[in-house]
Amino acid sequence: MRRFGRLRTQMSDEVSVVKGNHQIAFGGIIADWRENNHSHTSSLGAYAFNGSITGLGMADFLTGNLATLNIGSETLWSDRQAYVLGYAQDVWKLAPRFTASFGLRWEPSQPLALTQGAVYGFDLGRYQQGIVSQVVPNAPAGLYFPGDPGFPSNHRTYNPSWTQFAPRVGFAFDPKGDGKTSIRASYGLAYDFNATLSVGGAATAPPYAVRTQSGTRWILESCSLRSSTSSS
């Protein structure tokens, strides 16, 4: 059984004005993305009958001799992502053969908010200092969870940053003026944010979920499982 729900809300507007030898553009985006996942893909289990006991896979199945089992917890995971963007740009034709462009993009970093499921974060400073979680002491250094000192509020994966500015500059030059040759150069700084899938894998991993796989011989008895040897 799987249930997936997604809601995408976005508003954007852009304005471009040509005035003299300038082409000025500016605009912005406001968005809110939400996703809810509930899946029993792993919790239903994957069972293999390969004939390792009786010599025939169907016979192993009918006699309840299970060769391998792969089973895990159900996946429960919901997230929220806000996104804000603003920019301004000027394309300036300084001469018939030379055009320059300048721009500035404001793109604050808004972290994922994990409302249920695998809520955790990673801090580089904690990792470099070897600090482990007080909530989940067995987790690797750098990982921390709700309840640990300094964990971001509202189930966010990290604290937002409102001061991310990305400048852009470039030019195009026609050295001969015949339109056959051009020299171009540009520079830009860009930011990105973590996608949903970058933390989604933790929804099926400890400490929020477990998964086990056994290559030992299993026996089905009265709709229950018992292993003839210890499983891994």
Q: Domain residue spans in the chain? A: 2-115+161-227, 120-154
Q: What is the pLDDT of residue 195?
A: 60
pLDDT over 90 percentage in the chain: 38
Q: Which residue has the higher pLDDT, 198 or 101?
A: 101
In single-letter form, the type of residue at position 43 comes to: S
**Hey, what are 115's tokens?**
């409302």
Q: Which residue has the higher pLDDT, 35 or 142?
A: 142
Question: What is the rounded average pLDDT for all residues in the chain?
Answer: 82
Residues 6+ apart with CB under 8 A from 27: 12, 13, 14, 15, 86, 87
Per-residue pLDDT for 167 more than 90? yes
* E strand segments, the chain: 2-19, 22-39, 46-48, 65-66, 68-72, 75-95, 98-106, 113-116, 121-122, 143-144, 165-173, 183-188, 211-214, 218-221, 224-227
Per-residue pLDDT for 230 more than 50? no
Residue 79 CA, chain-centre distance (Å), reads 10
Per-residue pLDDT for 229 more than 80? no
Q: What is the pLDDT of residue 183?
A: 95
